[in-house]
Structure 1
């Protein structure tokens, strides 16, 4: 069985966030940069359900992990992603 390759749009949908390219960019710009050492799932802007999904997905090394890591990198950058 091959893992499903999700898109960033699907990740935002899964998190219950607006998923258009413009809305994803607005979200990233509104919440970055994350402080050094801040775990993505522990960031204060997530709901409990969102944080649990992020934490569990990474703990299980699910097929969402690459996208979650990509989002984490984007939220740690300053300036445009």
Structure 2
């Protein structure tokens, strides 16, 4: 069975706490400036960076979730 990717699945794949509270806290505390591409953010490990870049390039269902995370991580810069 193919698991439909969700934000919780993405956080699990990245080796991060995937509870709703942890995801919200991660997003709130890891905001990026408008020029920083999600896969280039300095808080990722090399493995996490590669995973995100691959998923974005694959342009599949995972790319949609990574893009949602990207938008969430840029909320503050989008507001200003």
Fold match (TM-score > 0.5): yes
How many residues matched?
Answer: 75
User: 2:21 and 2:3 mapped to 1: Cα distance?
Assistant: 25
Structure 1 residue ranges, 4+ long, deviating more than 4 angstroms after superposition: none
* TM, length-normalised to structure 1: 0.86
Rounded to whole Å, the distance in 2 between the matches of 1:57 and 1:77 is 21
Q: 1:17 is matched with which residue?
A: 16
How far is the alpha carbon of 1:4 from its aligned partner? 5.1
Please give the per-residue CA displacement for 1:11-35, whole angstroms capped at 9, x wherever unaligned.
0000000000000011011101x11
Matched, 1:28 2:27: yes
Q: CA deviation at 1:64?
A: 0.6
Asked whether the 8 Å contact 1:4–1:63 carries over to 2, the reply is no
Counterpart Cα distance in 2 of 1:4 and 1:60: 16
Is the helix fraction higher in 1 or 2?
Answer: 2
Q: Give the TM-score, by structure 2 length.
A: 0.87
The runs of 5 or more residues in structure 2 that have no matched partner are none
CA drift at 1:42: 0.3
Q: Which runs of 5+ in 1 are unaligned?
A: none
